[in-house]
């Protein structure tokens, strides 16, 4: 096998791996990492429980549409995601922490099992694993 062909095949194999993982140039954005629900801050675990129960929520903005403008979550139709405030101890405002819920196969954030956590106001996300 020639040096050029070997180099091509190596590059092709890497490109296929990236495509299979959904993180290559063909993906619309990076896929979020994960976090175990037990490893979330206690305030986030409480908000997650409230989402699953359908409320009540502390902030008037909880449950509003999250537009995914950063495109860090999988691209979905407008209205698919909703956001919820995770209280930050000592903060005088809503703080930077949120849980974003998708509608999933059920069409309902309370039962979808599709949740992401951000501690930096949408700069990064980790998918919550239960």
For 57-114, the DSSP string reads -SSTTTTEEE--TT--SPP--TTSEEEEE---TT-SS--S-EEEEE-TTTT-TTTS--
Measured distance CA(28)–CA(24) in Å, rounded: 9
Mean predicted lDDT score pLDDT of the chain: 84
11 and 69 part of one domain: no
User: Rounded CA gap, 14 and 4, in Å?
Assistant: 16
Residues 83 and 110 in one domain: yes
Nearest to 101 by CA among 55, 59, 60, 65: 65
Is 121 assigned a catalytic role? Answer: yes
Identified catalytic residue from 59, 83, 114, 130: 83
One domain for residues 9 and 22: yes
* Catalytic residue list contains 83: yes
Q: What three-state secondary structure class fits 49?
A: helix
Q: What is the pTM of this model?
A: 0.74
> Are residues 117 and 61 part of one domain?
yes
Span 86-103, pLDDT tens digits: 999 998 999 999 999 999
Query: Which residue among 43, 59, 114, 121 is the active-site one?
Result: 121
CATH of the domain at 79: 3.10.450.30
Confidence band of 6 (pLDDT split at 50, 70, 90) = low
Domain ranges, residue 123 = 32-129
Count the domains in the chain. Answer: 2
């Amino acid at each position: 096998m020639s040096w050029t062909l070997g180099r091509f095949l190596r590059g092709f194999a890497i490109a296929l791996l990236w495509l299979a993982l959904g993180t290559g140039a063909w993906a619309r954005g990076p896929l979020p990492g994960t976090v175990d629900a037990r490893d979330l801050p206690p305030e986030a675990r409480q908000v997650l429980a409230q989402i699953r129960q359908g409320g009540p929520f502390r902030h008037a903005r909880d449950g509003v549409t999250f537009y995914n403008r950063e495109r860090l979550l999988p691209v979905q139709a407008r209205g698919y995601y909703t956001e919820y405030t995770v209280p930050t101890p000592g903060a005088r405002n809503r703080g930077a922490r949120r849980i974003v819920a998708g509608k999933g196969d059920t069409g309902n954030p309370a039962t979808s099992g599709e949740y992401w956590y951000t501690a930096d106001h949408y700069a990064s996300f980790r998918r919550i694993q239960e």
